[in-house]
Amino acid sequence: GSFGLDWTAPFKLKNDVFVLLDCSSSLSISLCDTGSSHICTSLYTCPGVQGLGIPQFSPITSCCVYTPVNLGSANEVNLPKLGCQSYTSIYAFGDGEDSSSTDPMNWRYGIKLQYNYNLDNNNFPTACADCERSNGVCGFSGPYNSFVCVCRNGVNNTTTDCHGQ
């Protein structure tokens, strides 16, 4: 159980908060944001977390809120190495990105990536701006190592923009 991000891909994490769950006491506290223990307390009330077999009132020390600035040289969160059984990630605490709901049922779970264009290629910034103006999201086609504009319908992705999609 690990999560990794290929360091050669043109993406970076965007405001993601990783919560490591059911961790042994040997977890390095230096990794954890001790000021965010309220996130753990709230998560332990979720049926999904309880479904992992983690009791509702587990000690907060078995949970670690981890906001990675850098996932390490391998760009990964290695759960076995960290002594944790599971994780979840949160990219928004409510409907808007700036929301601060304390109800975990309103949080947005998943990993949000931000397209990080190659500064050596002047076409990427222009193409990305055109894509975003057409309500698309800047993306990357791994097989072709090229820019792609991801359109809302998710079907008609293009190399330019989403106008007419």
Mind listing the pLDDT tens digit of every residue in the chain (165 residues)? 666 666 666 667 777 888 888 887 666 666 788 788 889 888 888 888 888 888 777 776 788 887 665 554 455 677 887 788 888 888 888 876 556 778 888 898 888 877 665 555 555 677 788 888 898 888 777 767 777 888 877 666 777 888 766
Task: Output the pLDDT for position 99.
Answer: 61
Burial letters 12-29, b for 16+ CB under 10 A, else e: ebeebbbbbbbbeeebee
Task: Output the pLDDT for position 165.
Answer: 65
Please state the domain extents for the chain. 2-114, 118-165
Say what the pTM is: 0.69
Q: For every residue of 6-74, which 3-state class applies, written as one string?
A: CCCCCEEECCCEEEEEEECCCCCHHHCCHHHHHHHHHHCCCHHHHCCCCCCCCCHHHCEEECCCCCCCC
Q: Which residues contact 98 (CB under 8 A, 6 or more apart)?
A: none
Task: Output the pLDDT for position 18.
Answer: 87
